[in-house]
Amino acid sequence: MNAPIRPSDLKDPAQSVFGQPRHDWTLAEVEALFELPFMELVFRAAEVHRRWFDPTEVQMSQLLSVKTGGCAENCGYCSQSASFDTGVKAEKLMGAATVIAAAIEAKAGGAQRFCMGAAWRDLKDRDLPKVAAMISGVKALGLETCATLGMLRPDQAVALKEAGLDYYNHNLDTGPDYYDQVVTTRTYQDRLDTLAAVRDAGMSTCCGGIVGMGETRRDRAGLLHQLAILPAHPDSLPVNDLMPIAGTPLGDSAPVDGLEFVRMIAVARLVCPKSVVRLSAGREHMSRELQALCFLAGANSIFVGGKLLTTSNPDQDTDEALLADLGMRPMTMAAN
């Protein structure tokens, strides 16, 4: 049996990030990063962040639920699962005009990327033309486009790319050893297969997970290890802090300690140095100081707007005040 890797055995990642990001991380190495003294870990992550990004910039996204409720999946954190009684009603897919109007409003409010989420296990061919119309309409506004529609076949991924989709979100949720404690209606490999289809179609991937579901630190390391050994690191890496929903199996979950959450952000930055790390769901119950620590540790993206699918999010005025006080500004985006 190999001896465990100690934090002191790790090379300083800041010394090697001028090369290409690594895809050969071991789980033991990722676990050792989590064990670094907190100040040292955040310092290393901040150093790496500055190698690849302007630390004063934050990418702004807005998320709209284009089809709410009635999902056949049993993800234990989700208010939209048909398996749980959460009070969320199943609704029909929105029309393209309604979605495009919401995107116009989001852009006026400062959003740079518009994300469309549907509560589906997988994308049905009958819905593809409607979704494609939404995507092309939002793209025409000059916004980056992102969608999360469940599992995809390779041909569906190609069709979404042709419609103008820039990013596809498909989270791994947690590490592989804890996954079946969260969802049993699709496998880890199903998720990896969808990500492969997205990459092969030439789209950017948005993939991360959730903390606070009862997982251990090793499980969190397992999630980041899986992301770090993908053939291409996620272009966007959302880290969600669980928003417990009454009626779901995880509705009574205890919150994760704030410093532990910052560790998750910092390790994500170290193992996926060129990814845009999104401080995603859960900001509503985070203090300003905790969010500032997350930005220091390498987060450089947030969701704006007062709602994330079915849960709350800080309003525009609150976010503008925080970013102004931190001296941060919207990220300079590449031209579409």
At 49, which CATH number?
3.20.20.70
Long-range contacts of 253-259 (CB under 8 A, 24+ apart): 253/212, 253/213, 253/214, 254/212, 255/212, 255/285, 256/211, 256/212, 258/286, 258/287, 258/290, 258/293, 259/38
Structure tokens belonging to residue 84: 């749980």
Its domain, for residue 299, covers 36-323
Tell me, yes or no, whether 5 lies in a domain: no
Residue 89, classified by CB atoms within 10 Å of its CB into exposed (0-12), middle (13-18) or buried (19+), is: exposed
Task: Encode pLDDT of 213-231 as tens digits.
Answer: 999 999 999 999 999 999 9
Q: Reply yes or no on whether the pLDDT at 17 is more than 60.
A: no
Tell me, yes or no, whether 116 lies in a domain: yes
Tell me, yes or no, whether 126 lies in a domain: yes
Q: Give the Cα separation of 298 and 308 in Å (integer).
A: 22
From the CB of residue 288, how many other CB atoms can be counted at a distance below 10 Å? 13
Tell me, yes or no, whether 2 lies in a domain: no
Tell me, yes or no, whether 122 lies in a domain: yes
Structure tokens belonging to residue 11: 């090379």
Amino acid at residue number 196 = A
**Nearest one of 84, 58, 57, 56 to 70, comparing CA atoms:** 84
Give me the number of domains the chain comprises. 1
| Whether the Cβ atoms of residue 294 and residue 24 lie closer than 8 Å to each other | no
Amino acid at residue number 265 = I
User: 230 or 304, which is more confident?
Assistant: 230
Tell me, yes or no, whether 331 lies in a domain: no
Predicted local distance difference test score (pLDDT) of residue 91:
86
The whole-number average pLDDT for the span 58-62 is 91
Tell me, yes or no, whether 27 lies in a domain: no
Predicted local distance difference test score (pLDDT) of residue 315:
73
Residues acting as catalytic residues: 71, 75, 78, 115, 146, 206, 278
Q: Which of 73-77, 136-140, 197-201, 294-298 has the lowest mean pLDDT?
A: 73-77
pLDDT band at 20 (very low <50, low <70, confident <90, very high): low
Tell me, yes or no, whether 315 lies in a domain: yes
Those residues whose C-beta lies under 8 Å from the C-beta of residue 296, and which sit 6 or more positions away, are 42, 46
| Whether the Cβ atoms of residue 164 and residue 136 lie closer than 8 Å to each other | yes
Radius of gyration of the chain (CA): 19
Structure tokens belonging to residue 221: 């390391």
